[in-house]
Amino acid sequence: MKITQRHGRPAFTLIELMAVITIIIILAGLVVGGLGFVTERQAKEKARVQIALLSKAIEEYKLDMGIYPPTGNSPNGSFNSTSTVPTRDLYHALYYDGVIFAEETKDGGEVRDWTRRVGGGEIPKPTAIYLADLDPRTTSQGWVELPAGASKKDPLPPETITGIKDPWGNKYGYRSAIGAPVTGSPPSANNNTVNPDFDLWSVGKDAATNPSSRSDKVNNDDIRNF
Protein backbone atom coordinates (compact mmCIF):
# COMPACT_ATOMS: atom_id res chain seq x y z
CA MET A 1 0.00 0.00 0.00
CA LYS A 2 1.32 3.38 -0.91
CA ILE A 3 1.09 5.94 1.83
CA THR A 4 0.98 9.57 0.76
CA GLN A 5 2.19 12.07 3.27
CA ARG A 6 0.27 15.37 3.45
CA HIS A 7 2.49 18.37 3.77
CA GLY A 8 -0.09 21.00 4.90
CA ARG A 9 0.56 23.97 7.17
CA PRO A 10 0.64 22.87 10.81
CA ALA A 11 -2.24 24.08 12.99
CA PHE A 12 -1.78 26.97 15.42
CA THR A 13 -0.57 25.95 18.80
CA LEU A 14 -2.40 27.13 21.91
CA ILE A 15 0.40 29.56 22.68
CA GLU A 16 0.17 31.09 19.21
CA LEU A 17 -3.61 31.47 19.53
CA MET A 18 -3.22 33.17 22.89
CA ALA A 19 -0.64 35.53 21.43
CA VAL A 20 -2.96 36.48 18.55
CA ILE A 21 -5.88 37.06 20.92
CA THR A 22 -3.70 39.21 23.16
CA ILE A 23 -2.60 41.34 20.21
CA ILE A 24 -6.22 41.80 19.10
CA ILE A 25 -7.24 42.87 22.61
CA ILE A 26 -4.37 45.36 22.80
CA LEU A 27 -5.23 46.84 19.40
CA ALA A 28 -8.91 47.09 20.33
CA GLY A 29 -7.97 48.89 23.53
CA LEU A 30 -5.81 51.34 21.61
CA VAL A 31 -8.65 52.06 19.19
CA VAL A 32 -11.19 52.59 21.97
CA GLY A 33 -8.76 54.73 23.93
CA GLY A 34 -7.97 56.77 20.85
CA LEU A 35 -11.65 57.34 20.13
CA GLY A 36 -12.19 58.41 23.74
CA PHE A 37 -9.32 60.88 23.49
CA VAL A 38 -10.67 62.35 20.26
CA THR A 39 -14.19 62.61 21.69
CA GLU A 40 -12.92 64.37 24.81
CA ARG A 41 -10.81 66.78 22.77
CA GLN A 42 -13.82 67.61 20.60
CA ALA A 43 -15.96 68.24 23.69
CA LYS A 44 -13.34 70.62 25.12
CA GLU A 45 -13.09 72.51 21.84
CA LYS A 46 -16.88 72.78 21.65
CA ALA A 47 -16.97 74.18 25.19
CA ARG A 48 -14.41 76.83 24.21
CA VAL A 49 -16.50 77.77 21.17
CA GLN A 50 -19.65 78.01 23.29
CA ILE A 51 -17.93 80.18 25.89
CA ALA A 52 -16.74 82.46 23.08
CA LEU A 53 -20.28 82.70 21.67
CA LEU A 54 -21.74 83.51 25.08
CA SER A 55 -18.98 86.03 25.84
CA LYS A 56 -19.57 87.87 22.56
CA ALA A 57 -23.31 88.05 23.23
CA ILE A 58 -22.71 89.26 26.80
CA GLU A 59 -20.43 92.03 25.50
CA GLU A 60 -23.09 93.10 22.98
CA TYR A 61 -25.66 93.18 25.78
CA LYS A 62 -23.31 95.44 27.75
CA LEU A 63 -22.99 97.85 24.81
CA ASP A 64 -26.76 98.28 24.70
CA MET A 65 -27.67 98.08 28.37
CA GLY A 66 -24.64 99.71 30.00
CA ILE A 67 -24.12 96.78 32.39
CA TYR A 68 -23.35 93.10 32.13
CA PRO A 69 -26.21 90.73 32.97
CA PRO A 70 -26.00 91.00 36.78
CA THR A 71 -25.72 88.13 39.23
CA GLY A 72 -25.59 87.85 42.99
CA ASN A 73 -22.51 88.52 45.09
CA SER A 74 -21.58 84.87 45.58
CA PRO A 75 -18.99 82.42 44.23
CA ASN A 76 -21.45 80.80 41.81
CA GLY A 77 -23.35 83.98 41.02
CA SER A 78 -26.61 82.92 42.65
CA PHE A 79 -28.53 85.31 44.87
CA ASN A 80 -29.37 82.79 47.58
CA SER A 81 -29.67 79.05 48.15
CA THR A 82 -33.02 78.93 46.35
CA SER A 83 -32.03 81.24 43.51
CA THR A 84 -32.43 80.31 39.89
CA VAL A 85 -29.33 79.15 38.05
CA PRO A 86 -27.41 82.23 36.77
CA THR A 87 -27.43 80.94 33.19
CA ARG A 88 -31.23 80.90 33.29
CA ASP A 89 -30.97 84.67 33.70
CA LEU A 90 -28.50 84.72 30.81
CA TYR A 91 -31.09 82.94 28.67
CA HIS A 92 -33.52 85.78 29.38
CA ALA A 93 -30.93 88.52 28.93
CA LEU A 94 -29.40 87.23 25.71
CA TYR A 95 -32.41 85.71 23.99
CA TYR A 96 -35.86 85.34 25.56
CA ASP A 97 -36.56 88.97 26.53
CA GLY A 98 -35.68 90.15 23.03
CA VAL A 99 -38.01 87.60 21.46
CA ILE A 100 -40.93 88.62 23.67
CA PHE A 101 -40.30 92.32 23.03
CA ALA A 102 -40.39 91.73 19.28
CA GLU A 103 -43.61 89.72 19.66
CA GLU A 104 -45.29 92.40 21.78
CA THR A 105 -44.37 95.25 19.41
CA LYS A 106 -44.70 93.55 16.01
CA ASP A 107 -48.07 95.18 15.26
CA GLY A 108 -47.13 98.57 16.62
CA GLY A 109 -47.93 97.62 20.18
CA GLU A 110 -46.38 99.43 23.11
CA VAL A 111 -44.69 97.65 25.98
CA ARG A 112 -44.91 99.24 29.40
CA ASP A 113 -42.87 98.51 32.49
CA TRP A 114 -40.26 96.59 30.51
CA THR A 115 -38.19 95.69 33.55
CA ARG A 116 -37.19 92.52 35.33
CA ARG A 117 -36.60 91.91 39.00
CA VAL A 118 -33.09 90.66 39.65
CA GLY A 119 -31.92 90.09 43.19
CA GLY A 120 -33.31 92.95 45.24
CA GLY A 121 -33.84 95.46 42.45
CA GLU A 122 -35.28 96.13 39.01
CA ILE A 123 -33.30 96.35 35.79
CA PRO A 124 -34.49 97.21 32.27
CA LYS A 125 -35.08 94.24 30.02
CA PRO A 126 -33.21 94.18 26.71
CA THR A 127 -35.13 94.75 23.49
CA ALA A 128 -32.74 92.87 21.19
CA ILE A 129 -31.75 89.26 20.62
CA TYR A 130 -28.03 88.76 21.22
CA LEU A 131 -27.70 85.01 20.71
CA ALA A 132 -30.42 83.39 18.60
CA ASP A 133 -28.87 79.94 19.02
CA LEU A 134 -30.18 79.89 22.60
CA ASP A 135 -33.59 79.01 21.17
CA PRO A 136 -34.19 75.47 22.48
CA ARG A 137 -36.48 74.76 19.53
CA THR A 138 -33.80 75.25 16.89
CA THR A 139 -30.39 75.35 18.61
CA SER A 140 -27.49 73.76 16.77
CA GLN A 141 -25.30 73.75 19.89
CA GLY A 142 -27.54 71.45 21.92
CA TRP A 143 -26.93 73.53 25.05
CA VAL A 144 -30.54 74.34 25.93
CA GLU A 145 -33.32 71.81 26.25
CA LEU A 146 -37.06 72.13 25.88
CA PRO A 147 -38.80 71.69 29.23
CA ALA A 148 -41.43 69.01 29.73
CA GLY A 149 -44.59 69.78 27.80
CA ALA A 150 -42.90 72.15 25.35
CA SER A 151 -42.56 71.43 21.64
CA LYS A 152 -40.33 72.54 18.79
CA LYS A 153 -43.54 73.57 17.02
CA ASP A 154 -44.52 76.07 19.72
CA PRO A 155 -44.82 79.62 18.32
CA LEU A 156 -42.71 81.06 21.13
CA PRO A 157 -39.74 79.68 23.08
CA PRO A 158 -40.27 78.53 26.68
CA GLU A 159 -39.95 81.14 29.40
CA THR A 160 -37.99 78.85 31.70
CA ILE A 161 -35.14 76.46 30.98
CA THR A 162 -32.98 74.36 33.28
CA GLY A 163 -29.86 76.29 32.30
CA ILE A 164 -27.33 76.61 29.51
CA LYS A 165 -25.34 73.37 29.43
CA ASP A 166 -21.84 72.46 28.32
CA PRO A 167 -20.99 69.47 26.07
CA TRP A 168 -21.02 67.15 29.11
CA GLY A 169 -24.54 68.19 30.10
CA ASN A 170 -23.45 70.35 33.05
CA LYS A 171 -24.70 73.91 33.55
CA TYR A 172 -22.26 76.69 32.69
CA GLY A 173 -21.19 78.94 35.55
CA TYR A 174 -21.58 82.70 35.27
CA ARG A 175 -21.03 85.62 37.64
CA SER A 176 -20.78 89.34 36.98
CA ALA A 177 -18.25 91.65 38.59
CA ILE A 178 -21.01 94.13 39.43
CA GLY A 179 -24.00 92.59 41.14
CA ALA A 180 -27.67 93.28 40.69
CA PRO A 181 -28.89 96.67 41.92
CA VAL A 182 -30.76 96.68 45.21
CA THR A 183 -33.60 99.11 45.74
CA GLY A 184 -32.34 102.17 47.58
CA SER A 185 -28.64 101.45 47.15
CA PRO A 186 -26.12 101.22 44.29
CA PRO A 187 -25.09 97.87 42.79
CA SER A 188 -22.46 96.07 44.82
CA ALA A 189 -19.23 94.61 43.51
CA ASN A 190 -18.92 90.84 43.47
CA ASN A 191 -15.69 90.14 45.32
CA ASN A 192 -15.63 86.59 43.95
CA THR A 193 -14.99 87.43 40.31
CA VAL A 194 -11.54 87.12 38.77
CA ASN A 195 -12.16 89.19 35.65
CA PRO A 196 -13.11 92.88 35.95
CA ASP A 197 -16.25 92.24 33.90
CA PHE A 198 -17.59 88.67 34.27
CA ASP A 199 -16.50 85.08 34.76
CA LEU A 200 -17.86 82.27 32.60
CA TRP A 201 -16.88 78.62 32.94
CA SER A 202 -17.61 74.97 32.26
CA VAL A 203 -17.14 72.55 35.15
CA GLY A 204 -15.72 69.99 32.73
CA LYS A 205 -16.27 66.28 32.36
CA ASP A 206 -16.07 65.54 36.09
CA ALA A 207 -18.99 67.92 36.81
CA ALA A 208 -17.08 69.20 39.85
CA THR A 209 -15.82 72.69 40.54
CA ASN A 210 -14.94 75.04 43.37
CA PRO A 211 -15.79 78.57 42.23
CA SER A 212 -14.41 79.96 45.49
CA SER A 213 -10.83 78.80 44.83
CA ARG A 214 -8.91 78.96 41.56
CA SER A 215 -6.19 76.67 42.89
CA ASP A 216 -8.44 73.79 43.96
CA LYS A 217 -7.42 70.64 42.05
CA VAL A 218 -11.07 69.86 41.38
CA ASN A 219 -10.97 72.75 38.89
CA ASN A 220 -8.21 71.20 36.77
CA ASP A 221 -10.55 70.17 33.96
CA ASP A 222 -12.66 73.34 34.08
CA ILE A 223 -12.75 75.45 30.92
CA ARG A 224 -12.93 79.13 31.82
CA ASN A 225 -12.57 82.65 30.51
CA PHE A 226 -10.35 83.49 33.50
127-166: pLDDT as tens digits: 999 999 999 999 999 999 999 999 999 999 999 898 899 9
Identify the residue with better confidence: 63 or 7.
63
Q: Break the chain into its structural domains and give their ranges.
A: 14-224
Return phi, psi of residue 93, to 5°: -65, -40
What is the reported pLDDT for 75? 81
79-95: pLDDT as tens digits: 654 445 678 889 999 99
Please state whether the predicted TM-score (pTM) of the whole model is above 0.75. Answer: yes
Pairwise CA distance, residues 198 & 217, whole Å:
22
31-58: pLDDT as tens digits: 766 666 677 899 999 999 999 999 999 9
Mean pLDDT of 120-130: 89
Contact criterion met (CB below 8 Å) for 150 and 142: no
Pairwise CA distance, residues 23 & 53, whole Å:
45
Give the sheet arrangement for strand 223-224, strand by strand. 173-176, 198-202, 223-224
